[in-house]
Structure 1
């Protein structure tokens, strides 16, 4: 029992590290991707996808315990055997580029030679030399019988393959080696972009978390773990803007709604409008509320769509507004003691709408904070009348979907 427990405790961290390397490479490929590209995890290979219209299949080796590209490494020959079988079965399409990535800076004479082959002649010469090294001279191949069983299981599959099949893979083969710290490599890639070196760690953490959650969610739903460059790019731009403080103003995309839009909004009988009616708000206040509510919704949608604001920042912003509302409510309670509920609500509303609250440290247009307060009023997260929750409970409130 003790032996089994020790084995498990030794292998588990290595397995976790190995899977972590795959996620890191997944993210690295996304950072290098172009419009229209995709990256997949555990589909046709450890990591695969398309880059500039060219398909690739990548085997990822952690190299944590041993050199996976040494000449007699089982990992090396198993990789080529898997690629051969994948091409034969059709799982790996013709024209696919083959990549062997090793996280550690290991060396391997054969792996390096195969990676350096530029022509069919180079590939054929490499195949002949490798067969001679492991099997001996043709046609006897006297050395073949002395190959260890575990190594021979994969090595012999490769060396017994047709020259045409081997040349096809070798010509499309590339060897990539890391520095032993995959996320440092990714950080260097992020730092190469004009975003400010001080933000790299925060952006990297945001992107790594997004990749992990996205992959997990798709696998959990029974979907292939495939991410397009376009959806990743939206997240990337949003993450950069979230931590970049070089610009200080969020430009608005909203224009004042038309008279028809305002009339349609009024007919919806939204909960935030009922909140205003509870305190006897004047028509000017109600029209201003509809304007700011609709314009703030447009800005939220456009900022998120264009990656100007990270989605998580909207939740943080609304949490800040609720804290402001609660603080002002306590102050108004003292200030308006003995006054009517309507007057209480009018003072509280006015105090909240005067607040200036930045988003991701950037100044927002004058309609956004008031419109966001009305969004919270629409979902009954805040209110103006002292007893708004009980008075509007079960009234069929409509939450802003934007």
Structure 2
């Protein structure tokens, strides 16, 4: 095959690094959610206000978080990485200009991958001012010799290095080092975030993924609305928590199938009673009374009508309904065997009546969806109408005799 010619337009587009920029923004949104999970009542999490992400605590303390997204083998925290020194330089300027208070601010560098660097490790281990001064001096030797002569500096980071290691800025730089921390992740950020969400959010396991996806979308939508309104992208923890509670409650409610059809009328019940229905005959075989048969008709009609509506709406699938019927048949078979072993002295009619009562009184869910009380017995009646199950031990013979 011949060589593919890359046009100047294609080359220009490839050099814009759009995927990197999109990922960097999505990382800010996801990390805002990550930090909200660690917050308390009056805390606020912001994007692009004091830093990529920042947390303002109720007591006035601030955490400024600089995020570095890495989609290649590059190392943004190597000794001469421009991104590292630009971050430290920006923190220094923010402190000097009063945007960040040096006494109440922590400075965090977060990487979405696992990377190391000699100078960064020095800074991260300096947990008091003396150690910070020592780390500053050792790091300075990477760029200046013992006589204070500047070593070769790349144009991409020379300004940042000269400012951070200027003796006039030494005290502020050392205080930043003292309050500096580094966080990296072995897994990708999405895995880290989801694990944190599962750890913190008190949500039923079967709801976890759906609620997580919703809350991530909610943070993204909330920040977009704030941008459009010309306001800072800041989310109060109380607002976040209220939304989390509300959507969890809503999803919980969605896990219940609600009755949507009107109750059957007296005429409908009478017509059904007068019709030659096998499920009613099944109840007669075990000597059920008139009241039991009327209740069975009501359950059967309600289950049948609502099942059709739920399937049409997409609330349940044909596959789920088939699996549900198989589960009911399995339960019926097991109960029948148990009764046959434990109640052999019962008459066939009493064995059948006991089997019927045990089956209809156990509510069986459709997958994770809880069902109204009429649905399980109504579905049992539908199966008995098809002769897939029966209450009397000899129901098949009895129907043949009727014919």
User: Residue 59 of structure 1 corresponds to which residue in structure 2?
Assistant: 66
User: Residue 115 of structure 2 corresponds to which residue in structure 1?
Assistant: 106
Distance 1:190 1:246, change over 3 A: farther
8 Å Cα contact 1:245/1:361 also seen in 2: no
Q: 1:118 and 2:127 equivalent?
A: yes
Over aligned residue pairs, what C-alpha RMSD do you find?
2.8
User: Residue 72 of structure 1 corresponds to which residue in structure 2?
Assistant: 80
Question: 1:82, 1:122 → 2: CA distance?
Answer: 22
User: Residue 216 of structure 2 corresponds to which residue in structure 1?
Assistant: 208
> Which of 167, 179, 204 is the aligned partner of 1:196?
204
Q: 1:49 offset after TM fit, Å?
A: 2.1
Q: 1:362 offset after TM fit, Å?
A: 7.7
Question: 1:212, 1:38 → 2: CA distance?
Answer: 16
Q: TM-score, normalised by structure 2?
A: 0.59
Larger radius of gyration: 2
Distance 1:361 1:238, change over 3 A: farther
Question: 1:92, 1:60 → 2: CA distance?
Answer: 17
8 Å Cα contact 2:108/2:181 also seen in 1: yes
User: Residue 15 of structure 1 corresponds to which residue in structure 2?
Assistant: 21
Q: TM-score, normalised by structure 1?
A: 0.59
8 Å Cα contact 2:255/2:369 also seen in 1: no
> Which of 90, 93, 103 is the aligned partner of 1:85?
93
Residue-pair matches, total: 256
8 Å Cα contact 1:191/1:200 also seen in 2: yes
Distance 1:52 1:223, change over 3 A: closer
Question: 2:369, 2:57 → 1: CA distance?
Answer: 36
Q: 1:103 offset after TM fit, Å?
A: 0.7
8 Å Cα contact 2:124/2:180 also seen in 1: yes
User: Residue 243 of structure 1 corresponds to which residue in structure 2?
Assistant: 251
Question: 1:224, 1:361 → 2: CA distance?
Answer: 41
> Which of 174, 177, 185 is the aligned partner of 1:167?
174
Question: 1:204, 1:363 → 2: CA distance?
Answer: 25
> Which of 25, 32, 43 is the aligned partner of 1:26?
32
User: Residue 3 of structure 1 corresponds to which residue in structure 2?
Assistant: 8
Give 3-state SS (helix, strand or coil) of 2:158's partner. helix
**Structure 2, unaligned runs of 5 or more:** 1-5, 259-308, 314-367, 373-403
**Structure 1, unaligned runs of 5 or more:** 251-319, 325-359, 365-402
Distance 1:242 1:93, change over 3 A: same
